[in-house]
């Protein structure tokens, strides 16, 4: 925990102008105060030259990316068959939250769901029967993040309490879940998203404090922190396990960053959205990811081409996309929007395949089930819906 607090206050110190964190990649050392005194003009020159170098590198990056832009994805996709008629309806409605549903996640058993709400409640449901199996009241309101453990034996959640806590799920319905609660992550601002890694032992978090962090669940120790966003980080998604140890995050700085989990290094960064990125999700092969933003568009970024390869938008869609997820094969992209609808996109051809109505307020969260047979949406209308 000391490491956590040190890391958090170091990040704050950086932003307030005191000495910055050292990075392993730098070969030159910072100018010594004694040197600074004898070269009064030196620091300003250095700053200006560095800024110019930065601008030049940004231009070079765009140049390199443009060289590979030989064709558009939807052009390549012209040769494949269009999708058949698309029929999806609400098959279940989960009622029980007393306020806006903010987040949900599926259990690997493909039937259980955990959801969290503005009223501080976290509920575990059986989506087949719509029964509530567990309920926990958090000590804070706005529980913006929740996640199911891979084993199905625990859930993690957090929000305005700046923490991520893990609750083991008990088979005994009478047991008070709050008694076994374990505080794992500690940020210096709200928790926006959390996800277990491949096991119940590690959790990845993102926060309003501008950082992401990887934690050991058992000890609460900070294993790695990820700095690079210039504002609140709103979402994250782990790469499918076959593709290695990376994850993508999206933030209020309009950037989507791809990170190496072991080194803490940002590997790639994409800044084409015009507003906050509310949701990021990997394409099932791990070679691309989609994003949903307040700029009313969803976009697809290919990691090997290192660029945006598709924009999913329509003039009639003017409200932000809050949450996105792919169908099992990656052909469909489901987007939940602030205009209460869900738009279904053909990922390859770029056109909208369907628009789903039903929610009576913003759609805030959306996830496809682990076996791809359905997807669940959560809304500010206090309900969750299962669509299939």
Partner 1 sequence: MQDAAMSNNMAKIADARKAVEQLKLEVNIDRMMVSKAAEELMAFCEAHAKEDPLVTQVPSSENPFREKKLFCVIL
Touching partner 1, residues 339-378 (CB under 8 A):
347-348, 368, 371-375
- The 43-82 contact track toward partner 1, x by CB under 8 A, reads xx-xx--xx-xx--xx-xx--xx-xxxxxxx--xx--x--
Residue 157 token pair: 């959640």
Give the nearest distance from C-beta 58 to partner 1 in angstroms: 6
* Contact pick of 267, 275, 314, 318 for partner 1 (by CB under 8 A): 267
CB of 167 closer than 8 Å to CB of 154: yes
Near partner 1 in 284-303, by CB under 8 A: 284-285, 287-288, 302
Give the nearest distance from C-beta 209 to partner 1 in angstroms: 17
CB of 166 closer than 8 Å to CB of 199: no
Q: C-alpha 333: how far from its chain's center?
A: 16
- State how far the Cα of 286 lies from the Cα of 302, in Å rounded to an integer: 9
Give the nearest distance from C-beta 65 to partner 1 in angstroms: 7
Near partner 1 in 85-104, by CB under 8 A: 88, 91-92
Give the nearest distance from C-beta 368 to partner 1 in angstroms: 8
Q: Which is nearer to partner 1, 151 or 285 (CB)?
A: 285
- State how far the Cα of 337 lies from the Cα of 241, in Å rounded to an integer: 28
- Strands 233-238 and 246-251, by their bridges, are antiparallel
3 state DSSP class of 45? helix
Check binding of 20 to partner 1 (CB under 8 A).
yes
Near partner 1 in 151-210, by CB under 8 A: none
- State how far the Cα of 133 lies from the Cα of 123, in Å rounded to an integer: 8
Check binding of 329 to partner 1 (CB under 8 A).
yes
How many chain residues interact with partner 1 (CB under 8 A)? 80
Q: Which is nearer to partner 1, 2 or 173 (CB)?
A: 173
3 state DSSP class of 48? helix
Check binding of 106 to partner 1 (CB under 8 A).
no
Check binding of 38 to partner 1 (CB under 8 A).
no
Q: Which is nearer to partner 1, 83 or 223 (CB)?
A: 83
Check binding of 269 to partner 1 (CB under 8 A).
yes
CB of 161 closer than 8 Å to CB of 139: yes
Check binding of 33 to partner 1 (CB under 8 A).
yes
End-to-end distance of the chain based on CA atoms, in angstroms? 44
Three-state SS annotation for 101-168: EEEEEECCCCCEEEEEECCCEEEEEECCCCEEEEEEECCCCCCCEEEECCCCCEEEEECCCCEEEEEE
Give the nearest distance from C-beta 286 to partner 1 in angstroms: 10
* Contact pick of 10, 96, 99, 111 for partner 1 (by CB under 8 A): 111
């Amino acid at each position: 925990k000391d490491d956590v607090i040190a890391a958090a206050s170091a990040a704050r110190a950086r932003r307030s102008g005191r000495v910055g964190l050292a990075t392993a990649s730098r070969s030159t050392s910072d100018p010594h105060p004694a040197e600074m005194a004898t070269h009064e003009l030196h620091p300003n020159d250095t700053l200006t030259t560095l800024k110019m170098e930065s601008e030049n590198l940004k231009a070079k990056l765009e140049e390199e990316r443009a060289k590979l832009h030989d064709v558009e994805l939807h052009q390549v996709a012209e040769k494949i068959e269009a999708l058949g008629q698309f029929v999806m309806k609400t098959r279940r409605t989960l009622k029980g939250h007393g306020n806006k549903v903010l987040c949900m996640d599926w259990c690997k058993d493909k039937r259980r769901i955990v959801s969290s709400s503005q009223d501080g409640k976290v509920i575990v449901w059986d989506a087949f029967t719509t029964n509530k199996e567990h309920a926990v009241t958090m000590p804070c309101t706005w529980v913006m993040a929740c996640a199911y453990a891979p084993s199905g034996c625990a859930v993690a959640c957090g929000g305005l309490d700046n923490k991520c806590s893990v609750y083991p799920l008990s088979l005994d319905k009478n047991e008070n879940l709050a008694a076994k609660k374990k505080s794992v992550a500690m940020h210096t601002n709200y928790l926006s998203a959390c996800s277990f890694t491949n096991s119940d032992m590690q959790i990845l978090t993102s926060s309003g404090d501008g950082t992401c962090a990887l934690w050991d669940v058992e000890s609460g120790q900070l294993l790695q922190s990820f700095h690079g966003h210039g504002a609140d980080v709103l979402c994250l998604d782990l790469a499918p396990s076959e593709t290695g140890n990376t994850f993508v995050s999206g933030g209020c700085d309009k950037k989507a960053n791809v990170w190496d989990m072991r080194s803490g290094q940002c590997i790639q960064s994409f800044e084409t959205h015009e507003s906050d990125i509310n949701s990021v999700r990997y394409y099932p092969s791990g070679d691309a990811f989609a994003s949903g933003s307040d700029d009313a568009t969803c976009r697809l970024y290919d990691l090997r081409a290192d660029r945006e390869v598709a924009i999913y938008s329509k003039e009639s869609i003017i409200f932000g996309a809050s949450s996105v997820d792919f169908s099992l094969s990656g052909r469909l992209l489901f987007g939940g929007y602030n205009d209460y609808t869900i738009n279904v996109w053909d990922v390859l051809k770029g056109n909208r395949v369907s628009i789903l109505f039903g929610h009576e307020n913003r759609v805030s969260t959306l996830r496809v089930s682990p076996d791809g047979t359905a997807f669940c949406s959560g809304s500010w209308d206090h309900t969750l819906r299962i669509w299939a």
